[in-house]
Structure 1
Amino acid sequence: MSAKQDNSEKVEAYARALIEAARGEGRANADLVMWEHARKFSPEVLETISAMRDADDLDLIEKVAKQYKEILDSEDKTVSVTVTTSVPLSDELREKVRTKAENNLKAPVFLVERVDPEILGGVILEARGKRYDASVKAQLANIRKTLASTFIGSDEQ
């Protein structure tokens, strides 16, 4: 038997074992999605999950994730800042946003960039649980609310 044939038999055996277990729990499609993401996990994450499974500690996954984040946050002073714009940031604008955020937060910044055409323009910044919305959409909503509240009999409150 060739190595290639041997591997295809292993692959099929693994796939069938996963399907059988997932069908028994009624989650075959959900498990397929998880399986497709599993290759993104580092060997350390997989080893830790395996050790937790062996110790019957899988119910601690959420608590471990929370503790992991707390430890990381206490040791790493970098602040994650989510920047939402209607179009992708240029290199120049990205650097301006990073510099402004680092000055305001007095810490190094890791930018997480999101594009949402529905904000029309401007920017939304989120950091340390706070949201700063300077989007065109938000500004238009504020103008509409202000105008509506100044007219007697307006439908908007």
Structure 2
Amino acid sequence: MGAKRVDAEKVEAYTRALLEAARSEGRANADLVQWQHAQKFTPEVLETLAAMQREDDLDLVEAVAKQYKELLDAQDTTVSVTVTTAVPMDDELRAKVRAKTEKDLGAPVYLVERIDPAIIGGIMLEVRGKRYDASVRAQLANIRKTLSSTFIEGEEH
């Protein structure tokens, strides 16, 4: 099956799902207008909206937009840092992470905390689109890669 055929099928599936949902809520034309504007959204806006949807927080969109404008107008220099740990951080670790990131960035920091048991342990930081991964999962992956390249390349048959 060609890529264009697959794309056409995906487009139709998405379109029909959107149309069915919109019709059931009596807002098909309103959704069409929103959909036409959706392509103008940046990936960050789409990601934030998806996160708000997952958390059932779409009722906060207006408040977020208002605060966004206020922070933008105030030229707030606070940097958002996403911190992912395997278990919730305690106050001591939170303070250390905040102090270290504020020192490194030279700016106040707002911590967004995420918990992901899949990282096993350690910490991952995401700052300004860059990821710093000091998780146990990443360390194990590096060890596995090093060992496999050492033994595979070093084996004699």
TM-score of the two chains, using structure 2 as the length reference: 0.57
- Identity level (%): 56
Correspondence for 1:85: 85
Give the total of aligned pairs: 109
Distance 2:63 2:129 in 1: 31
Correspondence for 2:143: 143
Correspondence for 1:119: 119
Distance 1:100 1:93 in 2: 10
- Among 20, 23, 33, the alignment partner of 2:26 is 20
The one-character-per-residue Cα deviations of 1:66-92 (angstroms, maximum 9, x if unpaired) are: xx6xx8299111000000000000011
Q: 1:75 to 1:148 in 2, by over 3 A?
A: same
- Among 24, 28, 40, the alignment partner of 2:60 is 40
The one-character-per-residue Cα deviations of 1:15-49 (angstroms, maximum 9, x if unpaired) are: xx9822249969xxxxxx7xx75532337959xxx
Aligned Cα RMSD in Å? 3.6
- Structure 1: runs of 5 or more not aligned: 1-16, 27-32, 47-64
The one-character-per-residue Cα deviations of 1:78-113 (angstroms, maximum 9, x if unpaired) are: 000000000000011000100000011110000000
Structure index of larger Rg:
1
Aligned residue runs from structure 1 range 29-108, under 5 A: 37-42=57-62, 72=72, 75-108=75-108
What SS does the corresponding residue of 1:151 show, helix, strand or coil? Answer: helix
The one-character-per-residue Cα deviations of 1:100-146 (angstroms, maximum 9, x if unpaired) are: 00011110000000000000000001111211100000000000000
Q: 1:37 to 1:89 in 2, by over 3 A?
A: closer
- Structure 2: runs of 5 or more not aligned: 1-22, 33-52
Distance 1:80 1:74 in 2: 16
Distance 2:85 2:58 in 1: 30
